[in-house]
Copies of this chain bind each other. A is one copy, B any other.
């Protein structure tokens, strides 16, 4: 049916975490390690995901020791459609619909296919719908329990 890929999930976790930090007056940056430790995400992928999010401007990076990421734009103005496109690229709902970057997704039924219009219409509608939903509109994005830092043994003496 309709499905998000996992890195989008990781990205959402990251955004929500940073947003929460910010709203608590915590101005510290968030490192890939911090996220992967806290949520049990694979570090390498978390790091790579954050880099892609930086490329698209969702977050801002600071290199070097004590480096990390902070929010790059106001989440209360970011809609779901835009978020998904930033995370996964301008993919269409269905393969035969244009506006796709990958050449492999161009339909071989070209010309013959009679559902292109139907699919394109559906795609447009879903996109329009998602454009109307802001990330911060989604239930539980805000109003979660304050982040309790359950520090690991290994981290204790490191601080």
Contact = CB atoms under 8 A, between A and B. Distances in A.
Interface of A: 1-4, 6, 8-9, 12-13, 16-17, 39-41, 80, 84-85, 88-89, 91-96, 108-109, 112-115, 117-122, 125-126, 129-130, 133, 138-141, 144
Given A4-B93, A88-B1, A126-B126, A141 B118 contact: yes
Contacts of A108: 40
Given A39-B109, A126-B2, A117 B140 contact: yes
Contacts of A41: 109
A118 B106 CA distance: 32
A2 B121 CA distance: 14
A116 B115 CA distance: 34
A115 B9 contact: yes
A105 to B, nearest CB: 9
B144 A122 contact: no
A83 to B, nearest CB: 10
A59 to B, nearest CB: 16
